[in-house]
Structure 1
Amino acid sequence: MADDQKGSLEDRLKRLDAELAEKRKSDGAEEAAEARAAASRSGYAVAMKLSSEFVAAVIVGALLGYLLDHFAGTGPWGMIVFLLLGFGAGVLNVMRAAGMVASPHPVDRLAGREPGKAGSGRDETDKKDGV
């Protein structure tokens, strides 16, 4: 009788181990699915941020152009020019946020230097050192 109970207990333990192993596999699949969903949500958030930055720049440019036309009486030219400037600013903001264009270094912005100009990133001490 004791051997019968021992065998029954071992069978139950084997079934429990098999069920636990199966459950762990399904938990791993659920965790992987959740990780993919989180990555997808993150990508969607970045896309919404970039698109809203672009649209905001275009709208601000159009609004400034309209106000210039309204108060200065310049006809459609203020709207056209500022709409194009807003479009360009929107594209630049999106490219900076996406990491395709580097933003100017804060020291260069404060000193009035721009990295694209000849000799702007070097001062006299750098020239002496041969840098």
Structure 2
Amino acid sequence: MTDHRDDGLEERRKRLSAELADRKADDVAEAKRDAQSEESRKGMALGFKLSSEFISAVAVGAILGFMLDRFAGTAPWGMIVLLLLGFCAGVLNVLRSVGKVAPSPLITGQSGKDEKGNGGR
């Protein structure tokens, strides 16, 4: 009777070990999917941030150019010049956000002076 009971326990232990291994494999696969979806969300967030920065800079340039043309009577030169400046500002903002261009000293709080207060770098 003890042998039969030991055989049943051994068989049950093996079955439970197999189920645990399956669950661990499922957990690992789920963690991998979660990590991939997190990367995807980060990429989408960065894409929306960059596109909104670029579009807002161009829109602000266009609106300011339109207002300048409207009040100063310089049509269409104010719109053309400020739209191009807005485009350049948008590209610069995107490059700064990505890290390809160093942030401006005004943003980082640096004044361009060394430790002694001199203007040299």
TM-score in terms of structure 2 length:
0.87
Separation (CA, whole Å) in 2 of partners of 1:104 and 1:58: 19
Shift, 1:121, TM fit: 3.1
TM-score in terms of structure 1 length:
0.81
Q: Which residue of 1 aligns with 2:110?
A: 107
Q: Which residue of 1 aligns with 2:59?
A: 59
Gaps of at least 5 residues in structure 2 are 114-118
Separation (CA, whole Å) in 1 of partners of 2:120 and 2:91: 25
Number of residue pairs the alignment of both structures matches:
114
Separation (CA, whole Å) in 1 of partners of 2:56 and 2:15: 61
> Could you say what secondary structure the match of 1:103 adopts?
coil
Separation (CA, whole Å) in 1 of partners of 2:104 and 2:80: 28
Q: Structure 1 segments of 4 or more deviating over 4 A? A: none
Identify if the C-alpha distance between structure 1 residues 100 and 121 changes in structure 2 by more than 3 Å, giving closer, same or farther.
farther
Separation (CA, whole Å) in 2 of partners of 1:16 and 1:39: 35
- Letter aligned with residue 53 of structure 1: E
Separation (CA, whole Å) in 2 of partners of 1:4 and 1:76: 96
Shift, 1:33, TM fit: 1.0
Q: Which residue of 2 aligns with 1:20?
A: 20
Q: Which residue of 1 aligns with 2:9?
A: 9
Give the percent of matched residue pairs that are identical in Structure 1 and Structure 2: 55
Aligned positions of 1:116-131 closer than 5 A = 121-122=120-121
- Letter aligned with residue 121 of structure 1: G
Separation (CA, whole Å) in 1 of partners of 2:6 and 2:103: 73
Separation (CA, whole Å) in 2 of partners of 1:67 and 1:94: 25
Q: Which residue of 2 aligns with 1:129?
A: none
Gaps of at least 5 residues in structure 1 are 112-119, 123-131
